């Protein structure tokens, strides 16, 4: 399984979200590759992704995708991530 985290530059917010998503996935005992990327490379990077994690501001820019797009309100809230990933992957 592949999960992509998206932000404007692919460094800050998506990096934080990547690390926290990996923590949640370990806790849930779910194997996945998590990749941080910028919004400009979304079509290439997320072409084979099952889940895209991002903020509400980037949803429209993602465009058409087969992945589940999950809007995360607080990148530091692992409880929110846990709830949303369980719903998407369960």
In DSSP terms, 33 is beta-bridged to 2
Question: What local confidence, expressed as pLDDT, does residue 38 receive?
Answer: 87
Query: In angstroms, rounded to a whole number, what is the distance separating the alpha carbons of residues 4 and 23?
Result: 15
Q: How confident is the model at residue 84 (pLDDT cuts 50, 70, 90)?
A: very high
| Closest C-alpha to 57, from 3, 19, 5, 7 | 7
Query: In angstroms, rounded to a whole number, what is the distance separating the alpha carbons of residues 77 and 3?
Result: 18
Q: At what angle do helices 13-28 and 78-89 cross, to 10 degrees?
A: 60
| Closest C-alpha to 10, from 18, 2, 22, 20 | 18
Per domain, the residue ranges of the chain are 2-75
Domain 2-75 has CATH 3.40.50.300: no
Query: In angstroms, rounded to a whole number, what is the distance separating the alpha carbons of residues 87 and 76?
Result: 18
Tens of pLDDT, residues 32-53: 999 999 888 888 888 899 999 9
pTM of the prediction?
0.90
Average pLDDT over residues 55-73: 90
């Amino acid at each position: 399984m592949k999960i992509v985290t998206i932000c404007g530059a692919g460094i800050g917010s998506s990096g934080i979200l990547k690390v926290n998503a990996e923590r949640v996935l370990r806790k849930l005992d779910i194997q996945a590759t998590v990749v941080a990327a910028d919004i400009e490379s979304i079509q290439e990077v997320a072409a084979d992704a099952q889940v895209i994690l991002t903020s509400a501001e980037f949803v429209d820019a993602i465009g058409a995708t087969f992945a589940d797009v999950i809007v995360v309100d607080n990148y530091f809230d692992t409880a929110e991530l846990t709830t949303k990933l369980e719903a998407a992957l369960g």
